[in-house]
Amino acid sequence: MKFNKAALVLGAVLIAGTGLSGCATKGFVRKTIAPVDAKADAAGQTANDALNRANAAHKLAEGKFLYEMVLSDDSVKFPTNGTELSDEAKTRITDFVTKLKSDNKNVYVEIQGHTDTVGNPGYNMKLGEQRAEAVRLFMNQQGVPLNRMSTISYGQTAPVASNDTPEGRSQNRRVVVIVMA
């Protein structure tokens, strides 16, 4: 029995010693964790700053759309595979540029090119870009600075009418000019 008590006491001392040696002091924990907490706080602050900047940019962009012109009626539609501007299209663009100049010179213009679904998507993407670029160059000839205009092609991805009929495909061959403040 004495042996068992001695063994029990020795075991308790060993367990207590092992347990105490593995425990960290509050000071050690604070010293070790403080830099990690600081980095986490800084990362959180950076993320919050980025989110705040993104929200501010979104608010600035909201409501900045001013007006648009769509070159898509019968007299200004692009022919299949065509990028040439008709005389009617040139007249409409000239009138549009006159309005643009008189309204505000500090605007930004996005010119969007669209196609019907005839042909493969890659070709149509290039064709949409060529149509938008034709309008951009003509607007530049009318006095709109190139650095205030950009072009983007949507190819066949944003139809406004069914591509199942010739009339619908004709409406989809268009350029949209969007003016933003």
Q: What are 57-94's pLDDT values in tens digits? A: 554 455 487 777 777 655 566 677 778 888 888 998 99
pLDDT at 81: 79
15-19, 40-44, 83-87, 138-142, range with the lowest pLDDT? 15-19
> Rounded CA gap, 102 and 112, in Å?
23
Residues 87-112: what's their mean pLDDT?
Answer: 86
Q: Where are the beta strands (DSSP E) in 9-117?
A: 65-71, 108-114
pLDDT at 66: 74
Any idea how long the chain is? 181
Predicted confidence band at 52 (pLDDT cuts at 50, 70, 90)?
low
Do residues 172 and 116 lie in contact, with contact meaning Cβ atoms separated by under 8 Å? yes
pLDDT at 134: 93
17-21, 23-27, 147-151, 166-170, range with the lowest pLDDT? 17-21
Predicted confidence band at 13 (pLDDT cuts at 50, 70, 90)?
low
pLDDT at 63: 45
Q: Residue 103 pLDDT > 80, yes or no?
A: no
Q: Residue 100 pLDDT > 80, yes or no?
A: yes
- pLDDT, tens digit (0-9, with 9 covering 90-100), for 19-43: 555 556 777 767 777 776 676 676 6
> To the nearest whole number, what is the mean pLDDT of the chain?
78
Crossing angle between the packed helical segments 121-141 and 87-103, to the nearest 10 degrees: 60
> Rounded CA gap, 115 and 4, in Å?
93
Q: Residue 128 pLDDT > 70, yes or no?
A: yes
The closest alpha carbon to 130, from 161, 147, 151, belongs to 151
Q: Residue 95 pLDDT > 50, yes or no?
A: yes
